[in-house]
Amino acid sequence: MRVGTLAFFRGCRHRQMSWPMRYDYQYSYRVCTDCGIKRLFDPESFRNCGPYGYDLQELIAGDRARRMKQRKVTSLKSLLISD
């Protein structure tokens, strides 16, 4: 009873994740088999990456925005160093 009550207040802990599934040529993801939440997966490092979310399109859009921002910062740093 006590464990069930604690799980109710804390929510799902996402311990039972599915095997990685390929979305397209660039993205893979895993799904929690208990609650259905998704998380992006990096097959090169074989690790989960980014936040959890129920909408896969939002997760991919967030990852693309993060990558674009990272590229801009990297290119600005290289310009500053070369001067």
Predicted pLDDT at 1? 44
Predicted pLDDT at 4? 46
User: Is the distance from CB of 48 to CB of 41 less than 8 angstroms?
Assistant: yes
Q: pLDDT confidence of 9, banded at 50, 70, 90?
A: low
CA atoms within 13 A on the CB side of 12: 14
Q: SS3 of 7, please?
A: helix
Report the pLDDT averaged over residues 5-19.
Answer: 77
> How far apart are alpha carbons 26 and 22 in whole angstroms?
8
- CA distances (Å), 26 to each of 37, 45, 60, in order? 20, 14, 10
Report the pLDDT averaged over residues 4-18.
Answer: 74
Q: What is the pLDDT of residues 18-77, one digit of tens each?
A: 999 999 889 999 999 999 999 999 999 999 999 999 999 999 999 999 989 888 777 666
